[in-house]
Chains A and B, each alone.
Chain A
């Protein structure tokens, strides 16, 4: 156990800190759940890419820096401490990217990865269907082989920011005789292909944060757009789902920064603290939760560096960060009291309504990327060995 950073790591931190200090927009960007904000965030991603900071853990030839996971944690710590914009292309960068690195052809890697790193291509995901939510193996959308192409028919839903995105990746039933998680294929589809219709869904915040995507005889070339083997899409997708639930999607720095802001909010409102003495406990519990998550991340990274694989632990992580985020924002709403309901556009809103926005988004945490009920089942069955239902 050795808990100090090397000189190289400290230099990297200093470089990232200096760059962010100089380049982080002074005025917050418009929400990326709007067309205008989406493009602002894409521009920000391009700027990060030009500084080779968009995907620091990717190899240099893909526009990254070949950083190890400790350096990635350092990058994230600086990123969230600087209050830099939300990352708009996480679907591409954290879900599809690693999947292509593991399962993609050389041609697919060359074609897609650099454009993901630079956010020239923005990706939406196509897992859920109206009748395939937690039960993802109930997927019915079909991809039928016709010569060199797949012809896709069906419907996907809850595709985050799909109305603004360029591409979608998803799972489709390519063997009509198959059941459950067999006979599915992982396909990449340009969203401007004839036959694709995207209908936005307004999220809790009133913005078109996600969408339904309809496929009506949509034709994509198999050789270029199939990832992994035909009919083996489940295995490919599961690898991606693991990345999503695991460390990368929600780095601890994000919650450490929220916990820090919460402490500042608490200290700025002593009259509320006096009326509700339980708040002190909630605030320090929030700090302890975020700190524990950060230490767990360093511990996990240490084990991964020694060759361990992340298994069902990814499911515990997902439960922890999503419920921590809820607690932090609930506590903030308690402190804000009657000011909590004010939207960002309201004249008297506190912190530009950012606590309310975070509170609304936190409601989704225990639901997306596999509900927490499903995650707890995974922990109980795969980690503890309890019998399946």
Chain B
């Protein structure tokens, strides 16, 4: 029983953290966020060089074949630097789906190789998300159709673009007509169920990172901003707002780690743990936004303060890969079931 990460995992996180800190100072981050497609092609190329896109691609397709417990250390970093959704959707969620397909399928191998090399972007259309994110950046879209898994080239899919309050997200209402040629797998229900959980855990990790970023920014602001001749962060009311955010973050972390472990090991409780993680991390992110803007005061309500980038991502991601109603219902279903394994003897044991 060891609910911690090993030194290699932590060192990898540290390296990616240093890379993102160097590449994405706030002014660059803001510039990217305000561009038309919400991200920078040059940054994407550098992320490919760091091995990020090939992280969970099988070794046979040129990846590092790492599992969800490696990703769960990285998604908070991607959230911390407000990296656009297409990265996690392609390199984590879609890669997980494609890797789970039977080996030997040439389309599977072609796509995975493309993802590892940074040449292929994948959008995922799952019914839990009414709109598909970043269709315009994708080369291929994976579509759920009556339990089947289809892969369509982006040009073959017509979509109408909706804009989001989070400028890095463009949301497509797609209409597709899957055909036998686009089908990757006929019975893909189990893989889709796992993909939904992976999508939720990916968002949860980013939400946790967003919460940490907003907390760090709020602490810095409250330490500098003076009123009544003192930093506002010396006042107890302000301290308590930020202590509450720290509490939510610290207690969401292990829940997130638990969900990643369950996914990596195909545990029976995966639905429950990923829903719990999504709820806990997004709650931390929303509280960090609410208390963040309060601590910033009027500055927090401006376009000028960078806090808005993180708040808006936190608000938007709350409903991505399952809204609260969806995840709460799943938790309720699991813990209120007559054969639910709840209570102190079932923290880990199945």
Q: State which of B69, B231, B240, B343 has its C-beta within 8 Å of the C-beta of A257.
A: B343
A173 CB → nearest B CB, Å: 27
A383 CB → nearest B CB, Å: 6
> Chain A residues with Cβ under 8 A from B1's Cβ?
2-6, 9, 70, 298, 302
| Also in contact, A295 and B347, with CB within 8 A (given A1-B261, A288-B331, A386-B233) | yes
| Among listed A164-172, A208-216, A220-228, A259-267, interface-contacting one | A259-267
| Among listed A196-204, A230-238, A371-379, interface-contacting one | A371-379
B244→A76 contact, CB < 8 A = no
CA distance A5 to B3 in the complex (A): 11
Count A interface residues, CB 8 Å.
61
What 1/0 mask marks residues of chain A from 293 to 321 whose CB sits below 8 Å from any chain B CB? Answer: 11110110111011000000100100110
- In this complex, the interface size class of chain B, counting residues with CB under 8 Å from chain A, is 35 or more
Q: Is A135 part of the binding interface, using a Cβ–Cβ cutoff of 8 Å?
A: no
> Chain B residues with Cβ under 8 A from A107's Cβ?
none
> Chain A residues with Cβ under 8 A from B230's Cβ?
387
| Among listed B142-150, B151-159, B251-259, interface-contacting one | B251-259
CA distance A381 to B247 in the complex (A): 14
CA distance A253 to B348 in the complex (A): 12
**Cross-chain pairs A/B with CB under 8 angstroms, 26 sampled:** A1-B2, A80-B344, A253-B344, A280-B332, A281-B328, A284-B332, A288-B276, A292-B276, A293-B251, A294-B344, A294-B347, A295-B3, A295-B255, A295-B347, A302-B3, A303-B4, A319-B247, A376-B239, A379-B246, A380-B243, A380-B246, A383-B246, A386-B238, A386-B242, A388-B234, A389-B235
Q: Is A252 part of the binding interface, using a Cβ–Cβ cutoff of 8 Å?
A: yes
Q: Can you list the 9 inter-chain pairs with the closest CB atoms, starting with the nearest?
A: A380-B239, A253-B344, A295-B254, A302-B4, A260-B343, A376-B243, A77-B344, A379-B243, A256-B344
A254 CB → nearest B CB, Å: 8
Q: Is A291 part of the binding interface, using a Cβ–Cβ cutoff of 8 Å?
A: yes
Q: Is B128 part of the binding interface, using a Cβ–Cβ cutoff of 8 Å?
A: no
> Chain A residues with Cβ under 8 A from B124's Cβ?
none
Q: Is B208 part of the binding interface, using a Cβ–Cβ cutoff of 8 Å?
A: no
> Chain B residues with Cβ under 8 A from A81's Cβ?
343-345
> Chain B residues with Cβ under 8 A from A385's Cβ?
219, 223
CA distance A154 to B331 in the complex (A): 54
Within 8 A of B (CB), among A51-79: 70, 73, 76-78
Q: Is A49 part of the binding interface, using a Cβ–Cβ cutoff of 8 Å?
A: no
A381→B347 contact, CB < 8 A = no
- CB nearest to A253 among chain B residues: B344
| Also in contact, A313 and B250, with CB within 8 A (given A287-B342, A288-B279, A294-B347) | yes
> Chain A residues with Cβ under 8 A from B348's Cβ?
3-5, 298
CA distance A375 to B240 in the complex (A): 9
> Chain B residues with Cβ under 8 A from A252's Cβ?
344, 347
Q: Is B181 part of the binding interface, using a Cβ–Cβ cutoff of 8 Å?
A: no
B1 CB → nearest A CB, Å: 5
| Also in contact, A77 and B345, with CB within 8 A (given A292-B255, A316-B250) | yes
Q: Residues on B close to A: CB < 8 A?
A: 1-6, 69, 215, 219, 222-223, 230-231, 233-236, 238-240, 242-244, 246-247, 250-255, 257-258, 261, 276, 279-280, 328, 331-332, 335-336, 340, 342-345, 347-349
Q: State which of B240, B336, B345 has its C-beta within 8 Å of the C-beta of A373.
A: B240
Within 8 A of B (CB), among A259-280: 259-260, 263, 266-267, 280
Q: Is A384 part of the binding interface, using a Cβ–Cβ cutoff of 8 Å?
A: yes
6 further A-B contacts with Cβ under 8 Å, apart from A1-B257, A299-B3, are A3-B348, A70-B1, A288-B280, A292-B254, A384-B215, A386-B242
CA distance A299 to B250 in the complex (A): 11
B240→A380 contact, CB < 8 A = yes
> Chain B residues with Cβ under 8 A from A257's Cβ?
343-344
A78→B345 contact, CB < 8 A = yes
Within 8 A of B (CB), among A87-109: none
CA distance A217 to B93 in the complex (A): 72
CA distance A311 to B261 in the complex (A): 27
Q: State which of B6, B261, B280, B349 has its C-beta within 8 Å of the C-beta of A5.
A: B349
- CB nearest to A77 among chain B residues: B344
CA distance A4 to B328 in the complex (A): 27
> Chain B residues with Cβ under 8 A from A266's Cβ?
336
- CB nearest to B335 among chain A residues: A287
B347→A291 contact, CB < 8 A = yes
| Also in contact, A299 and B235, with CB within 8 A (given A76-B344, A257-B343, A316-B246) | no
> Chain B residues with Cβ under 8 A from A6's Cβ?
1
CA distance A305 to B342 in the complex (A): 27
A199 CB → nearest B CB, Å: 34
